[in-house]
Amino acid sequence: MSADTDKEVLANLRKHVMQVTEDLYRPKPRFMDAFFFPNKDNVYKLERYIKMAKKTLYICVFNLTNDVLANAIKHVYD
């Protein structure tokens, strides 16, 4: 592996192996959406998304004051 092309092939192979590893051990979200409130339809849509969580749930919120959503999150961890 002394030729420049060999080094390039090896570098590309490493890059692809890292991508496959990333995809296997850190899968991409299955559902990704944005919701704006207050909107009752969005509350129930988000509740359905939350209840679909099987393993991990990542939520980014400033403040959670909606009981429907709070109970849905509790349901995931019960």
Q: What is the pLDDT of residue 54?
A: 76
pLDDT, one tens digit for every residue, the chain (78 residues):
677 788 888 888 999 898 888 877 776 766 678 888 888 999 999 888 888 887 777 777 777 788 898 888 887 777
Cβ(45)–Cβ(35) under 8 Å?
yes
Cβ(48)–Cβ(68) under 8 Å?
no
